[in-house]
Amino acid sequence: MDPGFDGGRAHDDVDYARKRDAEDPLAEFRDRFDVPGEVYLDGNSLGPISDAAEDSLEQAVEEWRELGIEGWTDGERPWFWYGESLGEDLAPLVGADPDEVVVANSTTVNIHTLVGTFLDALEDRPPGILVNDLDFPTDHYAIRAQLRQRGYDPDDHLHLVESRDGRTIDEADVVDALEEHDIGIVFMPSVLYRSGQLLDVERITEAAHDHGALAGFDLAHTVGVVPHDCSSHGVDFAVWCSYKYLNAGPGAIAGLYVAERHHGKTPALAGWWGHEKETQFELRERFTPADSAGAWQIGTVPVLSAAPLAGALEVVHEAGIDAIREKSIALTSYLISLVDAKLADLGCSVATPREPERRGGHVAITHPEAERVSEALRERGLVVDFRPPDVIRVCPAPLYTGFVDVWEFAEGLREILAEREYENVDVDGTVS
Ligand SMILES: Cc1ncc(COP(=O)(O)O)c(C=O)c1O
Ligand SMILES: Nc1ccccc1C(=O)C[C@H](N)C(=O)O
């Protein structure tokens, strides 16, 4: 049963929300974060700073001050191995072995290098790549560029699974597309950035493999809020960012996973930081890739944009990813129940799948005036974002959001709509 319901009746009084907060085993984590605004519901875009993340950043700064160049070898977490070491801490969150994960580059760069690598590895196979039409656009930009650089016309080689309803992707349509086209690589997100639909990674991977294709995923919207089993599901490769549910800060270093069976392949964007570590400083003329995911690093690890991740990960591990997921489902279920009970008659509907197992960490509420409404919410300190054409994205991230926060958001939204407060709002349509 949806935790937000009791016999079909939504719990829309604040006492119910207070009771849920009082019973919440993760409630104490809220105090470890500095959360901007009254209620911060935008952690699927940028998570807030925690004391732990600030401490690990400060530690790196202090080591830079005190150790200088020696930080590469003598830092508490020696910087030379920083990418591998943080990869090891991250590995359980994606269900991988430590040497299958590294932190490096940005998500977009990781898509370039991994898709490029596997395009090269296809050799005689057709370079068809299967994506979907609801992807975050950077994925397509990078894949198209990789195809072009190999002399392939992306219009012929990039195949799109089309959404039936403009909000979600049916996994059966991914399977059908694999039958229809000659596909070498399937590249899908774990969660669609707009509607919040959680795709079935295992099923897509299996279908790709049944058709002789590789399966890669963009896990940007799930790492840190939904558990993963990349190794046991046979996923070939994956990328993600660390600034959403991992709370490692704006532009924080990204992560990548490459299944062990692919280690040793030559990275498309090779660089000395991906060289076999033991001989990296022999500074040889030719590149020998590390025999691990570390090979897909490119240049020097950006220690200062990686450092907050160390502390941020401690918080996630202490809470435990299963407890985080459980609370996330409870919060999104509660939010959906409030939309149904209090906001449906004011023009709102829920575009996120209602089955918890098909839902990531955020809820998409649609409204014809979504852009101005989102801005009106922000003006009240209820921080959400707008995604065109009509989606208000609401992310009750479990580490620092409670049930009363969700209740306050729903109340605020009801008032804004009932009083048409959004009509007084100007939007500039830039960053959100
Ligand atoms: C699914 C997805 N992939 C990639 C990105 C961005 O990648 P990058 O961190 O390289 O800007 C985002 C968000 O910005 C995203 O939602
Ligand atoms: N990196 C950013 C920089 C600035 C503003 C937003 C982002 C996001 O991450 C947006 C996010 N990927 C989204 O799902 O819309």
In the predicted structure, residue 9 carries a pLDDT above the cut 60: no
Place of tokens 């989606």: 391
C-beta pairs of 141-146 under 8 Å, 24+ apart in sequence: 141/108, 142/108, 142/111, 142/112, 142/115, 143/111, 143/115, 143/187, 145/112, 146/112, 146/115, 146/116, 146/119, 146/268
Bond into 267 cis (ω within 30): no
Contacting residues for 313 by C-beta, under 8 A, at least 6 apart: 86, 89, 90, 93, 246, 248
393 is catalytic: yes
Over residues 212-233, mean pLDDT? 98
* pLDDT tens per residue across span 401-422: 999 999 999 999 999 999 999 9
Residue 126: per-residue pLDDT? 74
Task: Give yes or no for residue 431 CB within 6 A of ligand 2.
Answer: yes
383 forms bridges with which residues in the sheet?
Answer: 40
What DSSP character marks residue 105?
S
Distance, in Å, from the CA atom of 35 to the CA atom of 101, rounded to the nearest integer, reads 29
Over residues 73-78, mean pLDDT? 97
Do 186 and 178 touch, CB atoms closer than 8 A? yes
Give residue 125's pLDDT band: very low, low, confident or very high (50, 70, 90): confident
Q: Structural domains in the chain?
A: 5-34+320-424 (3.90.1150.10), 54-317 (3.40.640.10)
In the predicted structure, residue 1 carries a pLDDT above the cut 50: no
Give me the half-sphere count of Cα atoms (radius 13 Å) on the Cβ side of residue 44.
28
Percent of the chain clearing pLDDT 90 (strictly above): 94
Over residues 252-266, mean pLDDT? 98
Distance, in Å, from the CA atom of 294 to the CA atom of 257, rounded to the nearest integer, reads 9
Do 411 and 377 touch, CB atoms closer than 8 A? no
Q: Give the residue, out of 41, 42, 46, with the most ligand 2 atoms within 8 A of its beta carbon, to mutate for a pocket test.
A: 46
Catalytic residue among 327, 359, 387, 393: 393
Give residue 123's pLDDT band: very low, low, confident or very high (50, 70, 90): confident
244 is catalytic: yes
pTM above 0.95, yes or no: yes
In the predicted structure, residue 174 carries a pLDDT above the cut 60: yes
Q: What phi and psi values does residue 315 have, to the nearest 5 degrees? A: -65, -45
Over residues 331-352, mean pLDDT? 97
Among 2-11, 47-56, 272-281, which stretch is predicted with the lowest mean pLDDT? Answer: 2-11
Q: Ligand 1 centroid to 170 CA: how many Å?
A: 22
Over residues 235-264, mean pLDDT? 98
Do 247 and 218 touch, CB atoms closer than 8 A? no
Among 112-126, 210-224, 306-320, 406-420, which stretch is predicted with the lowest mean pLDDT? Answer: 112-126
* pLDDT tens per residue across span 303-333: 999 999 999 999 999 999 999 999 999 999 9
Q: Ligand 1 centroid to 207 CA: how many Å?
A: 25
Residue 72: per-residue pLDDT? 98
Over residues 219-226, mean pLDDT? 98
Length of the chain: 432
Q: Strand, coil or helix: what is 365?
A: strand
Distance, in Å, from the CA atom of 406 to the CA atom of 416, rounded to the nearest integer, reads 15
Residue having the nearest C-alpha atom to atom 14 of ligand 2: 193
Which one, of 87, 130, 89, lies nearest residue 110 by Cα?
A: 87
In the predicted structure, residue 164 carries a pLDDT above the cut 80: yes
Residue 7: per-residue pLDDT? 46
